[in-house]
A = this chain, B = another copy of it.
Amino acid sequence: MKNIFYSNQLFVSIRKYSLLLLCLIPTAGIKARVEQGKTPVDYVNPCVDTHKSRWFYFSSASRPYGMVSLSPDTWVKGGWNSGYLYDSTEVRCFSHVHCWQISGVPVMPTTGEITGHKGMEVYKSGFSHDTEIVKPGYHQIILDKYGIKAELTATSRVGMHRYTFPQKETANLLFDVGALLGDGAMEKAAIRRISAKEIGGYAVMAPTSRRKRTCTVYFIAQFNRAISEFGGWEKVDKDKQLTTKQALEGEDIGGYVRFKRLGNAPLLMKVALSYVSEEQARLNLKAELNHWDFDRTVEDSYAEWNHELGKIQVEGGTEQEKIKFYTDLWHALLGRHTYSDANGKYTDHTSDIPKICQVPLVKGIPTRNVYNSDALWGAEFNLNILWSIAYPKIMSEFVSTMVGYYPTGGLVARGPSGGNYTFVMVGDQAIPLIAAAYNKGIQDFNLNDALAGSIKNAEPGGIRDHAGYETDANKYMTHYIEKGFVPENIPGKGSHREGCAMTLYFAYQDWCLSQLAKGMGNDSIYRKYYNRSFNYRYMFDAQTGWMRPRTQDGSWLKDFAPIGKGFNMPGFVESNAAIFTYYVPHNLPDLIHMLGGKNTFVDKLNQQFEWAAPYNFISPHGQHAQNWVDYENQPSLHMAHLFSHAGAPWLTQYWVRKIKQDVFGDITPYGGYNGDEDQGQMGALGVLMAIGLFDVQGGASTEPRYEITSPIFDKITIQLDNRYYAGKEFIIEVKNNAKENVYIQSARLNGQSLNTYYFPHSELIKGGKLEIELGPKPNTAWGIE
């Protein structure tokens, strides 16, 4: 990829130091330091909300959706509060995989004696944010204990390291390949010297409660100078001991390489990964990084990030808003990672014997990537919409990734990790994505498998019968088909086995499937699932006015309350009735009718927002039962947008702006997402709120559309992908934008007055212009259907 933003290397180092400030200095001080000609990369602040983190949340040296996600780990041993934590003071290693349920290949440069066998708690080093630079595609950190300057960058599948050692010290690199990093231990690892400048190995990740089979990450590491000594450590009885064996294999082993004094010259290393084989890792290296110019790789990283982030350009707004915007978008493009190799090979682990698969090729180039991915639970309200607007190729690839497991494992996937199902959360999370892709004209995937697999998923024995981490199919769908709903307390061993929420999800997913079938012209399938999509009605208790769980005999669950305490209220997945009552995204007119008509609906919902406001519209993570609205977690993410559907679009405009600011406004390490950013989902929601586009139906309708709220920027330019869409760009121009001017006064689409609060997807993809005029008071005549 050409570097289209920078003309020389000097510029790189200037930027590095300006970004350091972004990481540390709160908002107020920033405006004075704004440079002219800043690029999207310059606005991204990777440190936002890093005071607590998930293993996969942070990754500095990574390309968009790159296989390698390399960064300093300040804490390890687990999936939560691990990886890069801002307030930790010590670096334990630089590891290459920060992904849902997978991790691997930690490296630590040291000096002096080899201490690898003593473990990270011994060889870790202090560091300071004062000497740190963090950017999308570059990380510099000084390891105070050793006096080593460590710099990291990456291509998609190759991490590149530049270490500057103290002049008089022997340079060591420890490869603690058997160590526990994120979710799950390493069952076995291997490392060996291959040649004077190359080592290789692998780590077999043990199964976890979520990822039920092993997954192996292979690596090749190459150096820019000859190794002077190779060795490692292995278990002898109960202790780990150093050894000079040139090839180690087993539990808890590690290896090291040493180099003679380097003087001023930095040590360069390239670490290529593959989930297929060592040979494939080497091919990835050859394909992506055939030189030793570290600065060029950094520049290429910035260029690629700018290219992707630049697909949505914003003007106006405050500096803080721009920083948050591109940080949001960066998370949306970073949270999930490539699983397939540069030549399109990947390993399928859905059966006992791992199977090497190959995506189709054109002129030898893979037509798509396959991804490792956490749940798409709730992605109908964020990633699905964002992808369909600005990243249709990514949307297509994720569809193919999910559908690609149907031929091998018999189900369209949910949260595929390590080449296998993880059964994370509940329901069929792929069908909202698939239906939205198809109905938005993204149709270059296996349509037969997509439909057949989605039908399989919607019937007994399909993916809906696997609640959280249930490997064996349960009986949810049998109940759902017989009774119209999933009762509570079906025997089982999984998590999230909450019948009322499942019923509401299944009804929406039935509708999504009906829309896919309708779009594809399959009338009988359409009618079957469209009829089932009304099953949410079985959950509505007209007496209390809430969706309410039922028992197996059909009676309402006793001791019911709309909110409460704890992880969730009975019947609701990480949530409560107050929130799930609104989970009928596919038939809001009917929901509004059930809740007493538009006025009553608006009053009730508005009351909930008023009650939730003092708590910033969130529940603390893990305490999902307690709030009336909860923008920390997926089931609630469309709630502010519902007013538009009930004749009060100005309330949508008001609350969306407020939530954007109050919940998602912070750009310090201590806020910004208020909990679980969840692999780009909250980032994508922030982007949608900022540009003023949404769709409570998640785009799955055969007539998909975009609902408008007031954007926070003056001008938004969306580059359309001409592989899928006819238009060049879609521009949103906002007049009279100001902090207090949150209300839409009028709108024009391509010069024509627009009096609905939405416009069709078909208009967006033609390219054109949406003009929105804002004001400080609601125009209650605008946008009423």
A interface residue numbers (CB < 8 A to B): 344-345, 356-364, 367, 404, 407-408, 441, 443-449, 451-452, 520-522, 723-726
**When the two chains form the complex, which single residue of B448, B521, B522 contacts A407, counting CB atoms closer than 8 Å?**
B448
- Indicate whether A362 sits within 8 Å of B447 (C-beta atoms), given known contacts A407-B452, A521-B345: no
Q: Write the chain B residue with the least CB distance to A726.
A: B363
- Can you name the residue of chain B whose Cβ is closest to the Cβ of A359? B447
| Complexed CA–CA distance, A448 and B726 (Å) | 32
Subset of 17 A-B contacts with CB under 8 Å: A345-B521, A356-B522, A357-B447, A358-B520, A359-B447, A360-B443, A360-B445, A360-B446, A361-B443, A362-B443, A362-B723, A362-B724, A363-B724, A364-B443, A404-B448, A407-B448, A407-B449
Min distance, Cβ A327 to any Cβ of chain B, angstroms: 33
Q: CB distance A444 to B356 under 8 Å? A: no
Q: How far is the CB of A765 from chain B (nearest CB, A)?
A: 10
Q: How far is the CA of A395 from the CA of B345 in the complex (A)?
A: 23
Residues of B within 8 A of A356 (CB): 521-522
Determine the chain B residues whose CB is within 8 A of the CB of A522 once the complex forms: 356
B358 close to A441 (CB less than 8 A): no
A358–B448 CB distance below 8 A: yes
Residue of chain B at shortest CB distance from A525: B356
Q: Cβ of A408: which chain B residues have Cβ within 8 Å of it?
A: 448
Q: Within the complex, what minimum Cβ distance (angstroms) separates A448 from chain B?
A: 5
* Residues in chain B near residue A360, CB distance under 8 A: 443-447
Chain B nearest CB, measured from A238 CB (Å): 38
Asked whether B407 lies within 8 Å of A441 as measured between CB atoms, the reply is: no
Contact call B407/A362, Cβ cutoff below 8 A: no
Q: How far is the CA of A451 from the CA of B451 in the complex (A)?
A: 22
CB <8 Å contact, A363 and B521: no
* A451 contacts across to B, CB distance below 8 A: 358
Question: Which residues of chain B come closer than 8 Å to A441, judged between CB atoms?
Answer: 361, 363-364
A264 CB, nearest partner CB in chain B, Å:
42
Query: Complex Cα distance A358/B443, Å?
Result: 10
CB distance from A452 to the nearest CB of B (A): 7
Tell me how far the C-beta of A516 lies from the nearest C-beta in chain B, rounded to whole angstroms.
10
Smallest CB separation, A251 vs chain B (Å): 26
Q: Which residue on chain B has the smallest CB distance to residue A362? A: B444
- Across the two chains, which residue of chain B brings its CB closest to A344? B447
Query: CA A367 – CA B404 in complex, angstroms?
Result: 18
Specify which of A361, A367, A443 lies most central, judged by the most chain B CB atoms within 10 Å of its CB: A443
Write the chain B residue with the least CB distance to A408: B448
Q: How far is the CA of A287 from the CA of B408 in the complex (A)?
A: 36
**What residue of chain B has the Cβ atom nearest to residue A283's Cβ?**
B521
New contact pairs (7) apart from A358-B447, A360-B444, CB-CB < 8 Å: A344-B447, A358-B520, A361-B441, A362-B444, A364-B441, A367-B444, A407-B448
Q: Which residue of chain B is the closest to A345 with respect to CB atoms?
A: B521
Distance between A396 CB and nearest chain B CB, rounded to angstroms: 9
Q: How far is the CA of A724 from the CA of B344 in the complex (A)?
A: 17
**Given the complex of chains A and B, what is the CA–CA distance between A447 and B356 in angstroms?**
11
A355 nearest CB across to chain B (Å): 8
A358 to B522 CA separation, bound complex (whole angstroms): 10
For A404, list chain B residues within 8 Å (CB): 448
Task: Give Cα A445–Cα B726 distance, bound, in whole angstroms.
Answer: 26
List the B side residues contacting A362 at CB < 8 Å.
443-444, 723-724
Q: Which residues of B contact A449 (CB under 8 A)?
A: 407
A180 to chain B, nearest CB (A): 32
For the complex, give the distance between the alpha carbons of A443 and B360 in Å: 6
Which residue of B344, B359, B447, B521 is within 8 Å of A361 (Cβ)?
Answer: B447
From A360, A364, A445, name the one whose CB has the most chain B CB atoms within 10 angstroms. Answer: A360
CB distance from A404 to the nearest CB of B (A): 8
Q: Which residue of B lies closest to A277 (CB)?
A: B521
The chain B residue sitting closest to A276, CB to CB, is: B521
CA distance A441 to B362 in the complex (A): 8
| Nearest chain B CB to A181 CB, angstrom units | 29
A361 proximity list for chain B (CB < 8 A)? 441, 443-444, 447
What separation, in Å, do the CA atoms of A663 and B520 have in the docked complex? 49
A367 to B367, CA, bound (A): 13
Q: Which 4 A-B pairs have the closest CB atoms?
A: A361-B443, A358-B447, A357-B448, A360-B444
What chain B residues lie within 8 Å of A723 (beta carbons)? Answer: 362-363
Taken together as a complex, chains A and B put the C-alpha atoms of A364 and B723 apart, in Å, by 11
Return the chain B residue nearest A280 by Cβ: B521
A626 to B359, CA, bound (A): 48
Please indicate the chain B residues that have their CB under 8 angstroms from the CB of A359 in the complex: 447
Closest to A406 in B: B407
Q: How far is the CB of A31 from chain B (nearest CB, A)?
A: 43
Please, which residues of chain B bring their CB within 8 A of the CB of A448?
Answer: 357-358, 404, 407-408
